[in-house]
Amino acid sequence: MLLTIDVGNTNIVFGLFQENALRFHWRMASRPECTADELGAFLMTVAGRAGVILPDQLHGVMIGSVVPPLTEALIAMSRTWFHIEPVVMHVGLLKQMPVRVKEPTRVGVDRLLNALAARTNYGAPIIALDFGTATKFDVVGPDGAFLGGAIAPGFRTASDALASRTALLPRIDLMAPPAPIGDDTVSAMQAGIVLGYISLVEGLLTRIRNALSPHTPTVVATGGLAEILVPHTQSIDFHDPHLTLRGLQLVFCQHSA
């Protein structure tokens, strides 16, 4: 089995692949102070509950991280708990996808992984739309090259900022209200944040599509917050909640070939 680890600013997502199939996945909060032993103990516990014996059934570990302290802890975990030297994602591992941006080494590895997995599974041109702490629009052109994209605050991030910077506005459940005109504070905030955010997404997608014309890109959504927004727009073609893990599996296979 291959252990893939997607480290974001909000969550760490672990995935176990057997051959090309994602068999198990688990999620825990990202804490930069988390130690290798805490991470190892978590994985041993959840894998054991699923009937997986670690490290005996592992042949590799692949890490994609945007949180450097956790990267180091996970490398140490892989070495000490599983006796495996992990592969850590960087742009140089993308052997089959050109990266046509000004500073390739500064592109978040999660963006590259999403773009690669989206292109592999759904074709090109494509827009990989990741709803997380930030919302990322990552574009693969008609020839299969990564072209860059757009980054906006995540809509939970925007909601938290609104509540923390105002005296009377509460924190709210992020769900679409029954109507765009809220008749109380909560529904008005839900209209502004959730429906407003859908309009932001649809507007940016329209602009990106226009920039790719006459080609028509497919749009695939991923990320922990995607399930809230995807049902309320017709601009997204597919929802793939494990796109980043699939990207890690693809890069590991290419690296090991």
Catalytically active residues, by annotation:
110
What is the layout of strands, in order, in the sheet containing 21-29? 21-29, 11-18, 2-7, 60-65, 87-88
Q: Which two tokens stand for residue 111?
A: 């963006």
Query: Beta 2-7 vs 11-18: how paired, if at all?
Result: antiparallel
Cα 197 to Cα 175: distance, rounded to the nearest angstrom: 11
Q: Cα torsion for 157, 162, 163, 168, to the nearest 10°?
A: -170
Cα 253 to Cα 241: distance, rounded to the nearest angstrom: 20
Phi-psi label, residue 233: left if phi above 0, alpha if psi -120 to 50, beta otherwise: beta
